[in-house]
Homo-oligomer: A and B are copies of this chain.
Amino acid sequence: MSDALRLGIAGLGTVGVGVIRIVQKHADMLRARTGRDVVITAVSARSKDKDRGVDLSAYAWENDPVALAARDDVDVYVELMGGENGSAKASIEKAIACGKDVVTANKALLAHHGQALAEAAEAKGNVVRFEAAVAGGIPVIKSLTEGLSANKVERVMGVMNGTCNYILTRMEDAGLSYKEAFDEADGLGYLEADPNLDVGGIDAGHKLALLSSIAYGTQVDFEGVELEGIGAITIEDIRNAADMGYKIKLLGVAQMTGRGLEQRMSPCLVPATSPLGQLVGGTNMVVLEGDSVGQIVLRGAGAGEGPTASAVMADVMDIARGFRCSTFGQPAASLKKTASARAAVPAPYYIRIDLLDKPGAMGKVASALGEAGVSIHRMRQHDHDGSHAPVVIVTHRTTRQALEHAIELFGQTGVVSGDPVALRIEKV
């Protein structure tokens, strides 16, 4: 244990440079805490000549991350390039084949290939760690896998895409339209190259799928995540929610039900006074509920150089300290495949519809709900705008299936214009 732990780092962007800064700045502290030196021996990126603001002269350079992963002087392969296939996948596979430990921040890759990679690594007696892949600097993988290891997990929730929360916060605070808030976030460089990864809930869905696997001992099942983005949310929805004491958040929820694992990533109403409701801006929050521990709430920066590098290095430090936990908290080979239960857990819903100004319109909507078996908790008609009138309905607890049936029936009433917005009210 007194030998140096040697890192090979592939990817010298935001996160990679952050990791290098920590290793360079805190060498003494890392040694004091692990009892050994933590050093970088080799690095890789696309362009060798780019000035990255850190001194790379002491490290060997590899053009090919797969070659980096195979180097004899690398104990831990640190993948910080990103991408769900390509070099990231090939190089991690290579590192595993060479019997090296792997640390990555790549949620897209793990959401799709986590099971196979974990199995391969564990067959070799190696570990794959990914604290930085979920909620950035928040030690959520550690808290769930280790801190709650003696709990049957009952629910996992999270606001895990800072960009979406930023957009929703700006709509609320500054009265911006979705489009305006989106453009502002874009201008600030908050959006991924493919913005749908953010606002479509895909990035957050990747994270949720990873948490579910640990929480429920199941194989990562990203396909099983019901995804719904924030693009349909209007400033009126946010105001209506506020009037009723709620905030709208892009919320991930994972629960094991009698019918299988339910994983949802969708805009939800949460009580304004709850920790989730009070979360503003780009900050992330994860809520873990266990049968013994009750509810644990974790809050912090979900992205950025420092926080993400902090999480990458926490994984490295654990390896340096000799801690070797299974990737998903139990041997990958023992993780179960589970049916995905779509919308098994009932909830009240917020529905906004645009009602045409026709006689008996409200009655027809109410009947459609009744026919679908959805009962109305409250219903409010807002100011007319010419021939349209926005109507907000809050239902009692209902299944998503019944709700979708009602929405289908709305279409046949001839009094509803456009697509209704239906948002779950999550009890938090």
Q: Which residues of B contact A34 (CB under 8 A)?
A: 149
A interface residue numbers (CB < 8 A to B) = 18, 22, 26, 29-30, 32-35, 131, 137-139, 142-143, 146-152, 217, 273, 275, 278, 290-301, 304, 306-307, 309-311, 313-314, 316-318, 321-325, 329-331, 334
| A35-B278 Cα distance, complex, nearest whole Å | 40
Closest to A137 in B: B293
| A32-B30 Cα distance, complex, nearest whole Å | 32
| A35-B332 Cα distance, complex, nearest whole Å | 12
Assess A143 versus B146: contact at CB under 8 Å? Given A32-B330, A292-B307.
no
Q: Which residues of B contact A18 (CB under 8 A)?
A: 292
Assess A146 versus B314: contact at CB under 8 Å? Given A293-B300, A296-B138.
yes
Closest to A294 in B: B301
5 more CB-based (< 8 A) A-B contacts, given A33-B329, A293-B306: A139-B142, A139-B143, A139-B296, A149-B313, A296-B299
Interface of A is mostly: mixed
Closest to A329 in B: B33
> Among B32, B148, B275, B306, which residue has its beta carbon within 8 angstroms of that of A314?
B148
Ordered by A's residue number, 30 sampled pairs between the chains whose C-beta atoms are within 8 Å are A22-B150, A26-B152, A30-B149, A32-B330, A35-B331, A137-B294, A137-B296, A139-B147, A142-B143, A142-B146, A143-B147, A147-B314, A148-B314, A149-B314, A149-B317, A292-B306, A292-B307, A292-B309, A292-B310, A293-B300, A294-B304, A294-B306, A295-B300, A296-B298, A297-B299, A298-B298, A318-B323, A321-B323, A321-B324, A323-B323
